[in-house]
Chain A
Amino acid sequence: MRAAKRVPQTMIRIGAVASRVLRQIWHDKRVVLFMFAVPTLAMILFGYSFSGNIQGVRLAVIDDDQTDLTASIIDNLQADDTFHVTTLSQDTKSPEDLLLHNGYQAVVRFPDKFTSLYYAHFAMGVATSAQGVIDLALDESDPQIAAAVQMGLANAVMDLGEGGPIKIETCELYGVSIRFIDSFAPAIMGLVVAFLCTVLTLLSVVKEKVDGTFARIWVSPVRRGEFILGYIAAFGLVALAQSVLVLVIGKVVFDVVINGSLFWAFASVILFAIGNVGLGTLLSSLAQTESQAILFFPLVLLPSVLLSGMMWPLQAIPWLLRPLSYIVPLTYSNRLLRAVMVKGLAPWQEPVGFAGVLVFVLLTIVTASLILRQSARE
């Protein structure tokens, strides 16, 4: 009655656990929907929110100088999607009034003699302090808008061409100019895999404990390693499907840049998914019921979103919180996936990210295995 020796029993048992987990997922259509809706929504919502050149900032321009130079700068501002430019007459209210009472977000004023001072600077060289000055009044209640206005104005002045005071040439290290969304897609892949693999493993294992199937498994010939490998095989496939979905949406909808090898990208995602299966198994030892398990969801999601460098660079995270960033696994997955997908490197060429993910995988899988041994004997 026992199976023949051709296929090792251990492979049969791993396969049995993996196919059982996949069948359970397949039977619960809400989980299937959740699994594919989350990456789709995350990619589309985050993508649209952050692909995000800021557009339509209400900008008032007061030109007291009325020269060709100021007209060129205003033309440049109008050509920039960042701004919705309104040119106001000289005898208008003060810039502060315009900001506070007229709904403008920034006011640019070219004082009279701006042009003559600007050219005087060139004529007299560096020895002079004469300089054309543009007055900028800014609503700084939103720092991102304020930064976009300052950058847009600087571009408008630079775009004057060869006669301009500064010439900046951008060297495109990766062959194309990288937008925020391009470095965001790898982070979304990591986040989706981290969240769903951890949460689904956690719920699945807790359900086994609650239903008593856990006890049945430990009485059977299934080993702890086979149990974990079965889960890894199932969720590795799920992670792969989710990553493909994120990349397809990223490419089709946002035209994200993928410089690197897709093979290494998917291999890195699956490696990270393994660690998250381990993490979900670990957390399952702290929850006795499914409702207790749900309480862990924010614990997984919030540090990943806020501290991993996904939304803003680690350097922008306050020093007090930054050590926490280095224990958030997504921090390393972001480094690894960005290196592989954006920079086109092999995983080992980003040693910090690669080592971080490997350590995460080893730690969680080994600890989860020990915890399962404990749970089995409770």
Chain B
Amino acid sequence: MASAVIETHGIAKQFGIRQAVDRVDLQVSQGEIYGLVGPSGAGKTTLIRMLCGLTRPTAGTASVFGSAIPKKKRAVEARVGYMPQEHAVYRDLTVAENLRFFGRIYGVLPGTISGRIDELLPMMRMSELRRQRADQLSGGEKQRLSLACALLHDPELLLLDEPTIGLDPALRIQFWDHFHALNRRGRTILLTTHYLEEAERCDRVGMMKLGRMIAEGTPAELKARVPRDGGEPSMEQVFIYVTGSDAPAADTEGAK
């Protein structure tokens, strides 16, 4: 088995009386696309923020590339690309300026930055938007720019929080094509989504509800848990079966 890039043991986070993440054990291997699915309030974002070192766990441990997070975050931060749920780009900078800035703070050489921008913009179908200010982009374009910013320093691990939220179906497919292309180049991806059909495209899936990891496995393994009465169950049916609740896709944009 490939070495673990992400490992958590009993990781938990409490905000006041609310248990946002409740003793989650997670292991993501090198070169894997791991999807965290669940409705809003399931604890997906808090879990990903803890892995980034943005939120301190109240219990348990986490490590990325073998370094304890948040204590040894510095050792790994250049190897990680993070895309938050918000568009998280500088509205008053152009597309190229945003990319250049994120390249510089990650220590990418100026010449290499230009090369990466030339590489990423066509990949994101944004070549003609290079000099456009971010506040003049559509929602989908901002989302693509945000992903490009996370990719500029060519990280080995991508932590993507709801990367496809609010995108139209065609664009979501495009995003998933990018993820698979990155994955083929050996990149490890941990992403959150509440579109259950996207879970089908992950190597492994963790289903979360009320801060707890309810079920985990490959899409095939999870589907095998559902008693069959006819065809293959959808991921919605799997989710409803394992959590005993409505599928998260019903509460569409509420993930924030």
Contact = CB atoms under 8 A, between A and B. Distances in A.
B52 to A, nearest CB: 5
B9 interface: no
A2 B108 contact: yes
B78 A2 contact: yes
Contacts of B82: 215-216, 219
Contacts of B74: 221
A27 interface: yes
B112 interface: yes
B123 interface: no
B51 to A, nearest CB: 10
A286 to B, nearest CB: 20
Nearest to A9: B107
A3 B109 contact: yes
Nearest to B77: A221
A23 B96 CA distance: 12
The A contact surface, by secondary structure, is helix
A221 B78 contact: yes
B93 interface: yes
Interface residues of A, number: 30
Nearest to B109: A3
A122 to B, nearest CB: 76
B252 interface: no
A211 B93 CA distance: 13
B130 to A, nearest CB: 15
Contacts of A219: 52-54, 77, 80, 82
A93 interface: no
A24 B106 contact: no
Interface residues of B, number: 38
A220 B86 CA distance: 16
For A16, A17, A219, the residue with the greatest tally of chain B CB atoms inside 10 Å of its CB is: A219
Contacts of A207: 91
Nearest to B101: A20
A24 B90 contact: yes
A27 B105 contact: no
A106 B53 CA distance: 74
Contact of B89 (A211, A221, A377): A211
Contact of B93 (A1, A9, A27, A222): A27
B105 A220 contact: yes
B242 interface: no
27 contacts: A1-B108, A1-B153, A4-B109, A9-B107, A13-B105, A15-B104, A16-B101, A16-B104, A17-B105, A20-B97, A27-B92, A27-B93, A27-B94, A207-B91, A211-B86, A212-B87, A215-B82, A216-B88, A219-B53, A219-B77, A220-B102, A220-B106, A221-B106, A376-B54, A377-B70, A378-B54, A378-B55
